[in-house]
Amino acid sequence: MKELLIHLNKAFESKARLGIMSALMVNDKLDFNALKELLDLTDGNLASHLKALEEQGYLEVQKQFVGRKPNTTYGATPEGRKAFGEHLSALEKLISGNR
**Is 52 a residue that touches its own copies (CB under 8 A)?**
no
Nearer Cβ to its own copies (1/65): 1
Q: From the CB of 77, what's the least distance to its own copies, in Å?
A: 16
- Cα–Cα dist 76/28, whole Å: 7
Task: State the distance between the two ends of the chain, measured CA to CA, in whole angstroms.
Answer: 15
* CA dist 38 → 2, 13, 30 (Å): 34, 18, 10
**Is 33 a residue that touches its own copies (CB under 8 A)?**
no
Q: Are 58 and 76 in contact (CB under 8 A)?
A: yes
Judged by CB under 8 A, the chain residues 76 through 95 that form the site for its own copies are 84-85, 88, 91-92, 94-95
Phi (first) and psi of residue 93, to 5 degrees: -65, -40
- Give the footprint of its own copies on this chain (CB under 8 A): 1-2, 4-5, 8, 10, 13-15, 18-19, 22-23, 25-26, 38-40, 84-85, 88, 91-92, 94-95, 97-99
